[in-house]
Amino acid sequence: MTHLLTASCQQRPRAAGAFHSALSILAESSHIRAMAKHPDKKTPSPARDDAPKRRSPLTEFLDAAEPLQPGGFSEAPQADFAGAPLSGSIADWAGQIEREAEKQPKAKAPKKIPERSSAPGRTARGTSMGGAASAKERAAAGLNPVAGLDISLEDAESVSSSGVTATVAALSALIESGNPLHKDGQLWTPHRPARPEKSEGGIAIKMVSDFEPAGDQPTAIKDLVEGVDRNDRTQVLLGVTGSGKTFTMAKVIEETQRPALILAPNKTLAAQLYAEFKKFFPENAVEYFVSYYDYYQPEAYVPRTDTYIEKESSINEQIDRMRHSATRSLLERDDVIIVASVSCIYGIGSVETYTAMTFQMQVGDRLDQRSLLADLVAQQYKRQDINFVRGSFRVRGDTIEIFPAHLEDRAWRISMFGDEIEAITEFDPLTGQKTGELKSVKIYANSHYVTPRPTLNQAIKSIKEELQHRLQELEKAGRLLEAQRLEQRTRFDLEMLEATGSCAGIENYSRYLTGRQPGDPPPTLFEYVPDNALIFIDESHVTVPQIGGMYRGDFRRKATLAEYGFRLPSCMDNRPLRFEEWDAMRPLSVAVSATPGGWELEQSGGVFAEQVIRPTGLIDPPVEVHPAKTQVDDVVGEIRETTRAGYRTLVTVLTKRMAEDLTEYLHENGIRVRYMHSDIDTLERIEILRDLRLGAFDVLVGINLLREGLDIPECGFVAILDADKEGFLRSETSLIQTIGRAARNVDGKVILYADQITGSMERAMAETNRRREKQMEWNAANGITPESVKSRIADILDSVYEKDHVRADISQFTDDAGAMIGNNLKTHLEALDRQMRDAAANLDFEKAARIRDEIKRLREMELAISDDPLAREVEAQSPASGREKGKHNKGVAKHRAVEEQERFRELDEARAAEEAAKAAKPNLFRKPHLDEMGADGAVPMKKPLFAKPSIDDMGPGTDMPTPAGAVSRSLFKKQSAQEAHGSDFGIPGDRTKPLFKKNSLDEMTVRRTEKPVEGKVPAKPKPISPQAGEMSGRTEGGAKERDDSSKPIVRQRAGIGSYEDAADERRQKRRPGKTGRPGH
């Protein structure tokens, strides 16, 4: 029947549409019949020459001696049309079938799969794939059979779905198996790109500090500097908590005069190190390089549930600017110190393409304005004539203004005369004030992934070739859905690359954009770092394992995307460095930790510089062991003693459930306690630690977060429950780190609750006692009295990492008057005013009232300070803040002084007028209290018009009763004596008519929720049924009692609902996070 249809179609080409429909029906019916027919499943037997061709599908796959023909499709009736397999878009298949139908059918021998040149090899780390050409070789290499090629589709359902096709598996083997330093049988050497000549080199690294090395610091600094001079590739600095390891690192950098890269295990510690190095090296380039994502949801696919998760991210502009500043400083300066997190092992743009896209301009150069604008667009700068922000430019006649990607509050103005650069000016983009003249500038690209057009064209060509090859492979395997998906997504990206030079997810094509070979690592920050640099690995016992474990999870996610047609297989080359690759690329390194790991000690040959003596004379806390059977009751007693001494307590447990249950128990026993574990957001953790130090509560229960980098000098007791449970949380390293949390307090102590002494406990206690004895000997020999560390509570909130998110209040309201003089007080009052209005908008009137009272108190304080001429002089001489700190705002101080003089002159005139009025007429009024001040400040002598409500009385429906003697005229003008004194002047005092009515929700505003009654007060309609809390009958005393309490009105934040914001919707749907409070 198929041949009849073919002949009919050849005679009548116009019937191709009908032919296509009939052919589809026949193909589907034959396919269904084939799917319903299962091969006989017999017991497998040894392979013989006369053995049947088909046995069990898995047995045939594993024992195949030659490539098997595709089976299970029952496509014999369609063999005549197999001359050219369908390819390309599915929408074009009908046309291809038409063209095939017009040709004379010819028998064609199946194409032989080429033999592989070398046999697969197995190593201790995995299987070296090479190119598995046949079913036998794929089975020998450990791959699952390919559905539709090695076994039929119905048999493939019984096979594990973890296998991948040969293309993806071959690339996987290059990355995953064997020694990663051997690529294609050759030893891989790290890529060292050529760097341009530095324009700001030759600046010495100079450390600024009021302290001199003390304790073990001089010896440690000397040992490390000598090791650098000997080119020791790995050194170890064993420094206990509070011994000044950061100071030692800074001294080593100054002594060696080398660029430095400091690796931290997370953003918070990186921000703390950045702040400290900024203070140590104010004249040098201290930069910050961490992940610039505020929120990051990676692209992923879950085959089991057929769920595709699209990439979603939020980039922090401030950190992005700091990353650009860091890479520019590495290429332009010698005196550079980079503080980075472990994310620096992820790929960024290559040095070659990044430097190739820079261009330099000097005064007097001749260039065409249009070509300059085209170059800026090629660098991913955007033209913004109105919204002039970082990474944009604007044109005004012959003037071009550029906001470079690495600057925060400065921009460049290029003034041209014809085609000649007449002047280059630096200015403040906010105020427009000129800050300096420049002779030349070098403009770097606005993105690390920017690519020159020739390289981009070559990359597009290579991407198309890989796409074609991958589509053929998927179609041959019968995976048409994956082929269609891959073609659609990739061609869209190619169109964006051709049109704009960039696309979403451009990092997945980094292999072609950087010219790397399959399996080679992507370019990272380590290619920007000079060869003579030093690397300090802070908290190396945590950072080094993180480096080793980064790439595996990323690789598995990318392999799944490539296997199911969401990405090309080359996307797996966009990955973090493997540990061996990082080890080959790193320059001279110093591992810094209180508990160095095995890798660090092995690399250094067991030799390390020890820093045990603290400059403050503090000694390690004493460690005791108590039985675990009564650990909870014993902890309660110890907590009470510690709280009476005025110290805080840290308690570590093993599980989150245990932490929450223990918190509940301690709370029931009258102890102020919170817990902290991984379910609590980062900002909430910062709040908890701050409240602990401020004394809002006394005990913090945690699991694994009470370890590295936690600076709590107020901590006087650390309790480690279930210390004898050997494992990660109770290893020697974890115990020593947790014990160190009490080492910043002179009265600190540690109790381990255990029924037996484990090896980790024994080693941890032995190391702590060894350090303690050495410290006590040093103090006795040098006459040092230990003192507790004093640390400012705001330190953790002043970090760069936290400023990128939200500034948390250090306390409810500050009592420090000296810090609130002048501009700081004004800014603080504006912030409080915004908080008050937001609280009123949310109907939180109690909070609004508290903030209002605080605003009044601070304004009264400002008036009191302004009366003191000495305070006024201090205020006038105080340095500028914020933007005004820059040297380019020279006229701001003068302008501020003029404003202050005007303000004080107005206050003096008002005070003089008040004194004159008092002398002119009898004193009918007394000086009002601040809370009684009205619009004009006139308050009667005897009775105030309104009673001041308490905090509990404020809120909706809490209007105070009007006192007798009030009048019904305007409340906002100055009253006469008769109006003020009421009944004393003959005005009847019995007045029951209220002066105010309660507004409806539509009448409410942020500024005022009540307004005076105008005209006759309308009668309030009586409800049909009594309201909540209202009695239906008469109350005691015979009078009806009305309860005005209404249901609480929940209002969203101001402005919500004005536009559809996906982030707001997700935020509202997200379950409420844990707060660390008992029961929450």
- The alpha carbon of 371 is separated from its chain's Cα centroid by a whole number of angstroms, namely 38
Identical fold for domains 217-348+521-603 and 622-797, yes or no, is yes
Phi, psi of 111 (to 5 degrees): -75, 130
Domain 359-443 = CATH 3.30.2060.10: yes
Give the bridge partners for 412, in sequence order: 402, 426
Residue 145 vs residues 150, 303, 478: alpha-carbon distances, Å: 6, 18, 13
User: Which pLDDT score, from 0 to 100, does residue 493 have?
Assistant: 94
Q: For residue 1016, how far is the Cα from the chain centroid? A: 59
Rg (CA), the chain: 38
Taking 50 as the pLDDT cut, the residues of the chain under it are: 1-86, 104-133, 138-144, 146-166, 794-823, 871, 874-894, 923-924, 934-942, 944, 957-960, 962-992, 1001-1011, 1023-1061
DSSP secondary structure, 629-650, as one string: TTHHHHHHHHHHHHHHTT-EEE
Give the Cα separation of 761 and 76 in Å (integer): 73
Q: Looking at the domain 622-797, which fold is it?
A: Rossmann fold (3.40.50)
Structure confidence by residue, pLDDT tens digits, 949-988: 555 555 554 444 544 444 444 444 444 444 444 444 444 4
Give residue 169's pLDDT.
63
The residue extents of the domains of the chain are 217-348+521-603, 359-443, 622-797, 805-913
Tokens of 132: 């598995």
What is the secondary structure of 502-570 as a DSSP string?
--TTGGGGHHHHHTPPTTPPPP-GGGTS-TT-EEEEETHHHHHHHHHHHHHHHHHHHHHHHHTTSS-GG
**3-class SS at 485?**
helix
List, in sequence order, the alpha helices (H) in 157-216. Answer: 166-176
Q: Does domain 217-348+521-603 have CATH number 3.30.360.10?
A: no
CB 394 within 8 A of CB 388: yes
Q: Within 10 Å of residue 265's Cβ, how many Cβ atoms?
A: 22
Is 908 in a helix, a strand, or coil?
A: helix
Global pTM value? 0.59
Q: Measure the CA–CA gap between 185 and 714, rounded to whole angstroms.
A: 58
3-state secondary structure of 1012: strand
